[in-house]
């Protein structure tokens, strides 16, 4: 058995209002007055008070990015080209401010500034050769675990797949629960459930080990407090931010499972976003995760979240086939969920029937 030697985020700040310390955190990382910091910020913050608190100096630049669609390899390539032609020096660093979408864009651009070619060439495992430039992640919505993970999930010309590498994790993360204040309720639920589902899939997987279990159990407890408990809004924001962190750590040394495998199919074919896609699938997985799905429905009930229906109604056989192929392509997820003989358990037809329910 060869054990993996994983990098972790080496520095993290946690605290309400800690965003105001960003300037002093970045200062020692400034290479020269010609080497800017580039801030990728979710465009939901355009014109909001947060922008006035971004510690701009010299030729620093803010680039607003829409999270309407999940990040694409072509988008990353364009951003890298733009930065290279706009500045004489390599940036001092990249800062991503937003949800999983913005965090992934920031990670990918930081990698592609030092590695040649297109981001699509690096989708996969351990294909990145050169260290990325300094990059900082600042989540404004909690759940994905993208702030701790060693991947950046991108939609490429051929596949939706992460750039998984030792150079992907952030050099610095800033966790300021205050930034999650304005998240709409539905989105709070969908992205938070990404974390909940990470826990269920990790804790019920065949890859489970004490490392993953310790983080997964903590994250699951926190999710229960946030979505079923009776705690203040402020406490809830703090706890969900830490749940996301622990949930992300839990899957580092294990894997996700069926909901993620199917949700990738939905996303690839129909552009359904990660958080809601996971919920759409997970509600029908009681055969595989009975307790997890039962509690999920309680949470949904408590917060009166109505999931859309008929997402797959009217799809052609070819379209179902594409989703199934994408989904079956994620072999480690199935192995984790169902074991080595997963192909015997999850037949083509059984998966087709599950997709048809959505």
Binding site for ligand NAD (CB under 6 A): 42, 44, 67, 70, 98-102, 104, 140-141, 143-146, 149, 151-153, 179-180, 182-183, 187, 191, 194, 273-275
Residue 168 binds which entry of Zn ion, ligand NAD, none, CB below 5-8 Å type-dependent: none
| Nearest distance from C-beta of residue 192 to ligand NAD, angstroms | 9
Q: Is the dihedral of CA 41, 69, 166, 242 positive or negative?
A: positive
Contacts of 317 (CB under 8 A, 6+ apart): none
Least separation in angstroms between residue 28's CB and ligand NAD is 27
Q: At what angle do helices 185-203 and 290-302 cross, to 10 degrees?
A: 170
How many C-beta atoms lie closer than 10 Å to residue 18's C-beta? 18
Number of Cβ within a 10 Å radius of residue 203: 21
Identify the residue among 42, 70, 171, 194 touching Zn ion (CB under 5 A). Answer: 194
Q: Where are the alpha helices (DSSP H) in 39-112?
A: 49-52, 73-86, 100-112
Token pair 């039962």 in the structure block, residue: 294
Decide which of ligand NAD, Zn ion, none touches 140; Cβ closer than 5 to 8 Å per partner kind. Answer: ligand NAD
Q: How near is the Cβ of 88 to ligand NAD at its closest, in Å?
A: 31
CB of 100 to Zn ion, least distance (A): 8
Q: Which is nearer to Zn ion, 26 or 153 (CB)?
A: 153
CB of 54 to ligand NAD, least distance (A): 14
Which CB atom, from 92 or from 164, has the smaller least distance to ligand NAD? Answer: 164
CB-CB contact of 92 with 39 (8 Å)? no
72 contacts which partner out of Zn ion, ligand NAD, none, CB within 5 to 8 A by kind?
none
Does 176 help bind Zn ion (rule: CB under 5 A)? no
Nearer to Zn ion, 239 or 260 (CB): 260
Which two three-digit tokens encode residue 199? 């826990």
* HEC-encoded secondary structure of 177-223: HHHHCCCCHHHHHHHHHHHHHHHHHHHCCCCCCHHHHHHHHHHHHHH
Residue 104 binding Zn ion, by CB under 5 A: no
Nearer to ligand NAD, 101 or 204 (CB): 101
Q: Which residues bind Zn ion (CB under 5 A)?
A: 194
């Amino acid at each position: 058995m060869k054990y993996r030697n994983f990098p972790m985020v080496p520095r993290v700040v946690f605290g309400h209002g800690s965003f105001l310390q960003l300037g002093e955190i970045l200062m020692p990382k400034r290479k020269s007055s010609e080497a800017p910091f580039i801030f990728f910020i979710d465009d939901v913050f355009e014109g909001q008070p947060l922008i006035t608190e971004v510690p701009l100096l010299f030729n620093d630049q803010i680039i607003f990015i829409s999270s309407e669609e999940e990040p694409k390899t072509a988008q990353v390539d364009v951003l890298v080209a733009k930065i290279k032609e706009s500045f004489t020096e390599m940036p001092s660093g990249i800062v991503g401010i937003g949800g999983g979408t913005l965090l992934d864009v920031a990670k990918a651009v930081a990698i592609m500034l030092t590695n040649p070619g297109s981001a699509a060439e690096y989708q996969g495992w351990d294909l990145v050769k050169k260290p990325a430039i300094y990059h900082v992640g600042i989540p404004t919505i909690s759940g994905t675990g993208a702030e701790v993970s060693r991947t950046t999930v991108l939609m490429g010309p051929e596949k939706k797949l992460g750039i998984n590498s030792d150079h992907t994790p952030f050099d610095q993360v800033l966790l300021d629960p205050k930034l999650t204040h304005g998240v709409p309720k539905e989105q709070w639920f969908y992205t938070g459930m990404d974390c909940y589902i990470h826990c269920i899939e990790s804790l019920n997987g065949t890859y489970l080990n004490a490392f993953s279990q310790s983080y997964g159990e903590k994250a699951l407890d926190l999710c229960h407090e946030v979505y079923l408990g009776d705690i203040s809004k402020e406490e809830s924001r703090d706890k969900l931010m830490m749940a996301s962190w622990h949930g992300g750590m839990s899957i580092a040394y294990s894997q996700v499972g069926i909901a993620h495998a199917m949700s990738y199919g939905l996303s690839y074919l129909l552009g359904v976003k990660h958080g809601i896609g996971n919920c759409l699938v997970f509600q029908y997985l009681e055969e595989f995760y009975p307790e997890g799905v039962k509690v999920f429905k309680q949470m949904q009930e408590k917060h009166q979240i109505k999931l859309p229906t008929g997402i797959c109604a009217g799809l052609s056989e070819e379209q179902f086939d594409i989703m199934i192929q994408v989904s079956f392509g994620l072999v480690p997820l199935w192995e984790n969920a169902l074991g080595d003989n997963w192909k015997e358990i999850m037949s083509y037809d059984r998966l087709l029937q599950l997709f048809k329910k959505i």
